[in-house]
Homo-oligomer: A and B are copies of this chain.
């Protein structure tokens, strides 16, 4: 009843938006970073000033009890949480709002709504946590439809079955990270999928967008944890068999993973679980520079040690995060296990780092975080990670352009990609904003290449933020593809990445996907414009 309110325009809980005074202090710090450009806090448009079009359609009477046309509900389902979403929301522009929001309690409700949408030429947009940063949940479907419905899945959030022997659980798609972990905890099990959006995003959203999670190696995407999926389509229920592995034809789950709501509505999945970790070891390693660190991380990624965290920060990122200020790059390295102490793993990893000039700061070479008390370090790191997106709310209020993007490429392409992308973003920021910052870290690493994650910051001109941002985004995305990177390692395609996705996607695969879409969603009502269609 007294659920903690989330921000309509910004990231996370509404009560975490800092007051004007706090944002004034931040303005001073950021201004110094950006060469003294004057910054001052502005206030978001008040609720009563939000600009929403009137609803064009009313909910079907039989489902009216599950639906809301309330402006606050419609506004809260208009955007994801990308930079462009925050800017539009901050200024009160909710023009793409859905005509109504539906909150089904059962698959029957979903199917009834899907039928109704097909019959009435209404677009249906599946909605999980609404944390998309690629315009994946925005009902911007053009004029071809009579209306749009945002399908909020969060009331279908139960852990339905736990198989402790096989360490797997059947979970409803609308469960957020905390909601599903709370239901798994009594069984001594955990999914341990911790995207930065963990608090708000849902299992269904993770699967639909191939979300990246906690593990830096081995189980990097939700893909690796999915045992089977259940997706409702206008042509029936796609329920894949519940198996640890199979070699029977192309894998059905792999069509569901990454389908972004365009092929069906994911309602359940069987997920592989982990024992709660009992042993942990963590270390920070300094390298003279990022590329030297990257060579060490390459060797580490090919050594078969499988660290749970292997986050290499370049000198700019380290400095921005106040970790180091001497031009060093920093590797945040951790191992965890529910089964065994990790000394041999960590010792070998640190030896590899040392052979590349990596040195551990004073104190013990690594921390044994196995004791409950000592696990604070890992927890506090994770808590800082989860808190980070809140900063963007404040930066938007200061009129600062601030965004992140990520990719993956082979090791042999990485150094050129890193140089080119940094330069593309830096020079574009210089040109359109008069200056700015760009930083990089690895979030995940593979034996054949890293997943670099970039952050950029620049002073925006009031009213021109969206154009300035898209110029930087375009320059960055073009540079990624020109240097053998993917347009997204774990944030999906949505409406934002689609032009680059189309360049990356093999032609005959596009034809195949169109054929699948035409078959499973013959009226084209499911999240139109995402992945496919006009």
Contacts and interface: CB of A to CB of B under 8 A. Distances in A.
Contacts of A257: 250-251
> Which range holds the interface residue count of chain A?
35 or more
Contact of A519 (B233, B241, B303, B512): B512
A247 B488 contact: yes
A446 interface: yes
A515 B255 CA distance: 13
Contacts of A484: 242-243
B515 A519 contact: yes
A513 B509 CA distance: 12
Contacts of A343: 344
A462 interface: no
B238 A509 contact: yes
**Which of A245, A298, A490, A493 has the largest number of chain B CB atoms within 10 A?**
A245
A95 interface: no
Interface stretch (A37-45, A159-167, A363-371, A379-387): A159-167
A247 B515 contact: no
14 contacts: A212-B247, A238-B507, A245-B489, A246-B504, A247-B486, A248-B505, A250-B254, A250-B258, A251-B257, A252-B506, A275-B302, A340-B348, A515-B515, A515-B518
Chain B CB within 10 A, most for which of A244, A298, A408, A519:
A244
A520 interface: yes
Interface stretch (A22-30, A173-181, A409-417): A409-417
A220 interface: yes
* Closest A-B pairs by Cβ, 4 of them: A244-B449, A254-B254, A244-B446, A515-B515
A82 interface: no
A7 interface: no
B166 A410 contact: yes
A272 interface: yes
A244 B296 CA distance: 18
A406 B221 CA distance: 28
Contacts of A233: 508
A233 B507 CA distance: 11
Interface in A404-461: 408-413, 444, 446-451
A488 B245 CA distance: 9
A249 interface: yes
A519 B410 CA distance: 32
A486 B235 contact: no
A519 B513 CA distance: 10
B250 A411 contact: no
Contact of A247 (B256, B258, B412, B446): B258
A340 B300 CA distance: 11
Interface in A201-216: 209-212
A511 interface: yes
Contacts of A303: 337-340
A260 interface: yes
A531 interface: yes
Given A255-B509, A506-B240, A451 B339 contact: no
A17 interface: no
B168 A448 contact: yes
A375 B238 CA distance: 48
A165 B411 contact: yes
Contact of A511 (B167, B235, B245): B235
